[in-house]
A and B are shown apart, each in its own frame.
Chain A
């Protein structure tokens, strides 16, 4: 006997879309993060370059990694909600048709 979730969730037609989207956004962020690590390893001196308002590349890149994570998260949520709403609408429409 398999162990079922505490709060069973119904079928999610948007699931495959969300997985694809998630992987793409994950790859994008991973490359961004990897470039930060690589830059530190391959050209550590460049991290001291002043980029803007007296802040160096290390600080700006570090803040960017945090801020981009949040922006990506918000975009991901917005796209997921849009897709979920789309499928909910289709479900509603087909339910209406069925009852008619």
Chain B
């Protein structure tokens, strides 16, 4: 079923691209869809472009695992559209031709701006491409039963076909189609979630038996741990951190890992799920990994408003959230920890933690708003980058050139705000729906929304997965159009001034699309396993640091010079990328201790955005004379 729906969608998308490809012969058609897209279509295409794998897979996955903190991304991403609408939309439409670089360079004709803005477009697009391609691999694994790498290759191939056939025209209609379907079927999914209601023993409508994780009591004498129940022997103890300890138990000849906790002076150990990397391959929960032995899907309510055995039945949207917000509602959430056991084997343990609803329904589980100064600063930095990043994303900005007038640019932004805002409200229900319906893969939060759909049957799962796949296609197409425009139009045509007729310009764009698509495929394979929303958050920080100061100052500060713009872009890119590369989260990716990261912040915006503004102001003031001279000439 899933494969059929997926193939139908792919055939429609490629057919549409080939049809439009026959009509796209000019560079204006290729880069800006001829500037004739209706504002309503453009608005939904904006939504299709913007609601990427990060929004659908990443945010839902993050809400499903850490609660409200994931919704902060929804709020920040939407708020960013206010900057786009009120400050950027119409002026940018007036200034630009095909690319964001055109707009920045409109009043200067500066080779410095052309070069730096094109590089910035490439860097931001590639940063944004990584999570989309990671999302593609994540989706295809359960959908088609093929490995991550094939998912990434398949998306790469389809997207290159879309972009190389009809550029912005096919990209626009693919995004329109995807944006519409995403919103319609997400609404249906949320409807299904609240119609089902909440249960302390979610069994997916009787399809999957609810699994109750066991707890055992234990006692400690000196350093020796003893399990109260007979037949259980402690084999090994591992202390991962000050408040996180695991024990390996042997029972009937089988080993299993348990988490240890202390409550009111008594010791309790809790059943976990675990993966062990053995010489003969991966073992899951004590047996070799296979199609039938995978990690169990997790996430359930332990108590609903203080009661441990409840099925609410149908709920209203508000009732659903109100029950989850109650402090007597307890949710079993899941985390993971990795270590090496006594035998030198790498062990990953997925352990549960009971959290009350009132804590999950407010910030704090992921972003330590009650933590240290640096942890709070990190949160502030993220919210700043999300707010300022949207209006600086090149693949969003180029959509302003596909409509006929500045008024259309404004109207399409409003349609986008309505569609995107509505979708982001749905993410809260989809995320919490996944959290309490046993539909989270503990090893990969990104699949929470499609797996939630699976609890309602294979048809909805197939449709939602196909849409999620389309989500990746739409956004990646937009990114590749933006990046190929930066290479072919900004660098080859305008910066290097390579003489090309209109036909050759289109061909240069298509060749660029092939190369960038290839790079995206490689990166998608390399970054497997990262939360896609986190990665997009970083792309926002780079965009907000490199591009936004240049856009805002160009529009609102008369003393801005071309050298000031170029310098601010360079400083924005270098500062944000350096800060990211030296951050704790990236140290984790390198396999190093995050505590040793030289930069204690995961989100660089709070430093790199002001630095970029400051650079622009200083360099512009220093180069005022040159500006005056060039004017008088």
Q: How large is the interface on B (under 10, 10 to 19, 20 to 34, 35 or more residues)?
A: 35 or more
Q: Enumerate B68-94 residues with CB–CB distance to A below 8 Å.
A: 68, 71-72, 74-75, 78-79, 81-83, 85-87, 90-91, 93-94
User: Given B318, B387, B494, which contacts A33 in the complex, CB threshold below 8 Å?
Assistant: B387
- When C-beta atoms are compared, the residue in chain A nearest to B403 turns out to be A7
Specify the main secondary structure of chain B where it touches its partner. helix
Determine how close the nearest CB of chain A comes to the CB of B319; give it in whole angstroms: 7
Q: Are A53's CB and B318's CB within 8 A?
A: yes
- 0/1 string, B400-430, CB within 8 A of A gives 1: 0101111100110110011001001100100
**In the complex, what's the smallest C-beta–C-beta distance from B365 to chain A, in angstroms?**
11
- The segment from B292-300, B355-363, B588-596 that touches chain A is B355-363
Tell whether, in the assembled complex, residue A73 and residue B35 are in contact, meaning their CB atoms are under 8 Å apart.
no
Task: Choose from B78, B321, B411 the contact partner of A54 (Cβ within 8 Å).
Answer: B321
Residues from chain B with a CB closer than 8 A to the CB of A22 are 85-87
Judge whether A9 and B405 touch: CB under 8 Å. Answer: yes
Bound complex: CA A54 to CA B359 (Å): 14
Contacts of A4 in B (CB 8 A): 97
Chain B stretch 113-151: residues in CB contact (< 8 A) with chain A = none
B405 and A50 form a contact (CB under 8 A): no
Candidate in A33, A37, A65 with the most chain B CB atoms within 10 angstroms: A37
Known contacts A48-B361, A54-B319; is A69 also within 8 Å of B82 by CB?
A: yes
Q: How far is the CB of B147 from chain A (nearest CB, A)?
A: 38
Complex formed: what's the CA distance from A84 to B362 in Å?
43
- In the complex, which residues 344-371 of chain B have their Cβ closer than 8 Å to any Cβ of chain A? 358-359, 361-364, 369-370
Main secondary structure of the interface of A (DSSP, over half): helix
Given the contacts A47-B362, A76-B85, A29 and B107 also touching, CB distance less than 8 Å: no
**Nearest-Cβ distance from residue A22 to partner chain B, whole angstroms:** 4
Q: Residue among A7, A47, A53 with the most chain B CB within 10 A?
A: A7
Inter-chain contact B325/A54, CB cutoff 8 Å: yes
The reply to whether A50 and B325 contact each other, CB–CB distance below 8 Å, is yes
Residue total for A at the interface (Cβ-Cβ under 8 A)? 50
The answer to whether B75 and A62 have CB atoms under 8 Å apart is yes
Q: Quick check: B326 and A54 within 8 Å, CB to CB?
A: yes
* CB <8 Å contact, B410 and A5: no
The answer, yes or no, to whether A23 is at the interface (CB within 8 Å) is: yes
B374 shortest CB reach to chain A, Å: 12
Taken together as a complex, chains A and B put the C-alpha atoms of A50 and B383 apart, in Å, by 24
A96 to chain B, nearest CB (A): 23
Question: Which residues of B approach A to under 8 Å, CB–CB?
Answer: 28, 32, 35-36, 68, 71-72, 74-75, 78-79, 81-83, 85-87, 90-91, 93-98, 102, 105-107, 109, 318-319, 321-323, 325-326, 358-359, 361-364, 369-370, 376, 379-380, 383, 387, 401, 403-407, 410-411, 413-414, 417-418, 421, 424-425, 428, 494, 556
5 contacts between A and B (CB under 8 A): A26-B87, A29-B82, A41-B380, A58-B361, A81-B407
